[in-house]
Amino acid sequence: MTENDQSGNADARGWFVPPPDQPTDITLAGHLPPLRVPRPVYPDRRVWPPPPPPPSPDDEGYSTQPFPIIAAPLATARPAPVAPAAAPEPEPPAAPAQASPRRRGRRVLLVLALLLAIVLAVGAPGWFAYSTYKKGRPDDRLHTVPAGQPGTWQHVSWTAVAEPMPDPTGQPTPPDRQWMKIVITRTALDGEGAIRHDKPVDVTLRDRAGRTWRTEELSNETPLSTAENVVGQAYKIEMVGIVPTPVAGEVEVHLRPSTYRDVPGQSIEDMMKDSGKRAETTDDVLRFLR
C-alpha cells in the first residue's frame, strides 16, 4: 500500500515515512568522541620474597648439554626363593617383679576396707531389721511337761492330751490327713489363778521336725467372770486340728497361757498401770510330751 504526496504522486517510501520536509539522510554533526586506547597488560611479577638469581654457567649442576640416554639393564633370571629361617625357641616368661612391701600392704588395706564397706552396706540393714523383729517377737521359752502330768504356770495348773478323732462334720477324711482332738483342763490354784481365767493365746501341734499346725476351739467350760471361777475346780477346753497321718502319733501340744488378769472392780486406768509394772510377756510355752 502506498501513500500519495501533496502533488498526488504515490510515495514509494512506505507507510511509516518521515514528512517530505525532513531529509532522509541524517548525519551526525559535531566531533566524534575520542577512541579509548587499551592499556597494556603486564605479566605477574614476583615482588616478595625476591626471586633467586638465575643460575650461572659456572655453577655446579648447571649444564646446557642434554643427558645421554642410558639403556636399561637386561632382565635376569628370578632368584630362587629363600627358605624361611627357623623360628627361635620362645624364651620363658620373665618372672613378675616383686611389688614393694609398702605398695603391697597398701593394696591389702584397700581390699580390706572395700570388704568392710560391703559388709556394712549389706549387713547393717539386715541386722537392724532382724534385731527389731526379735525384740518385738523373741524366742519362745519352752517349759516341758512330762506325759500325763500337769504343768503349772502363774498360779494355774494345765493338762493337755491329744488323740485322733473322726471328722466332726461326718464327711470322709482323706487318707493322708488325720483329725486330732485336744482336751485341755485348767485349774486355778488360788485367788490369783482365778483372776487369770482367760483362754490360752494359742494351742498348736508340733512334730519332731518342728513343723506346726494350728487348732481351733471346739468348746470351753471356763466361766467368763472371776467370781464364778472356783479355786481347785478343773474346767475343760476342747480344741480340734488336722495333721498329716504319718505324724498323728507323735505330735505334741504346745500351749501358750494368757497374761490377762480380770481383777474385780479394777478400772481401765489401773489395769494399764498394773500391766506396765508387771511387764509380762507371752513368750512362755508349755510343751506337753506324749
Q: Which residues of 158-174 are buried (b: 16+ CB within 10 A; e: fewer)?
A: bbbebeebeeeeeeeee
Is residue 170's pLDDT more than 70? Answer: yes
Q: What is the mean pLDDT of residues 218-234?
A: 93
pLDDT band at 127 (very low <50, low <70, confident <90, very high): confident
Give me Rg for the CA atoms of the chain: 63
Rounded to the nearest 10 degrees, how much is the dihedral formed by the CA atoms of 125, 129, 130, 133? 170
Of the candidate ranges 84-88, 162-166, 221-225, the one whose mean pLDDT is the lowest:
84-88
Report pLDDT for 24: 62
How far apart, in whole angstroms, are the C-alpha atoms of residue 127 and residue 120?
A: 10
pLDDT in tens, 12-28: 556 666 677 766 666 65
Question: Three-state DSSP class for 181?
Answer: strand
pLDDT band at 1 (very low <50, low <70, confident <90, very high): very low
pLDDT band at 199 (very low <50, low <70, confident <90, very high): very high
Domains and CATH numbers, the chain: 141-261+283-288 (2.60.40.1240)
21 or 112: which leads in pLDDT: 112
Q: What is the mean pLDDT of residues 222-228?
A: 91
Q: Which residues lie below 8 Å from residue 231, measured CB to CB, with a gap of 6+?
A: 188, 189, 190, 191, 193, 194
100 or 51: which leads in pLDDT: 51
Q: Which residues lie below 8 Å from residue 178, measured CB to CB, with a gap of 6+?
A: 164, 242, 243, 244, 245, 248
Question: Three-state DSSP class for 55?
Answer: coil
| E strand intervals along the chain | 3-4, 10-11, 141-145, 151-153, 156-164, 177-188, 202-206, 212-214, 216-220, 234-244, 252-256, 284-288
Is residue 107's pLDDT more than 90? Answer: no
Q: What is the mean pLDDT of residues 208-219?
A: 94
Q: What is the mean pLDDT of residues 96-120?
A: 78
Is residue 99's pLDDT more than 90? Answer: no
Q: What is the mean pLDDT of residues 185-207?
A: 94
Question: Three-state DSSP class for 79?
Answer: coil
